[in-house]
Amino acid sequence: MARGAEAKKKITEEILNIFPESFIYNDKEIRIPIEENGEIVQIKVALTCAKVNVECGGASSVATSEPVVPAQKVEVTEEERNNVQKLMENLGL
């Protein structure tokens, strides 16, 4: 059995359960019909198993040997807060 085959089967079953009108097309993709602006559209979902696992939240879709660095917390100054407050007041928000 191919790598990820069991996981793909489990995920496919979950998607089909979550979206009752969904179906498998050409044994390759899941089609999810959904209404948008009064029209039925079909969202296609194709599942493939990644060759290389990557860390969640990485800035790049390319796997690297470098560790993922979390974003730093930005401190907002009092002046910036006041500027935003004034802008919101001017916009009526």
**Domains of the chain by residue range:** 1-67
Instruction: Check residues 14 and 57 and name the one with the higher pLDDT.
Output: 14
Do 30 and 22 meet the contact criterion of CB atoms below 8 Å apart? yes
pTM for this prediction? 0.56
Tens-place pLDDT, residues 46-81: 999 988 888 887 666 555 566 666 677 778 888 888
CA 33/CA 39 separation, integer angstroms: 10
Token code pair at residue 50: 């990644």
Q: Which residue has tokens 């990557």?
A: 54
Whole-number average pLDDT of the chain: 84
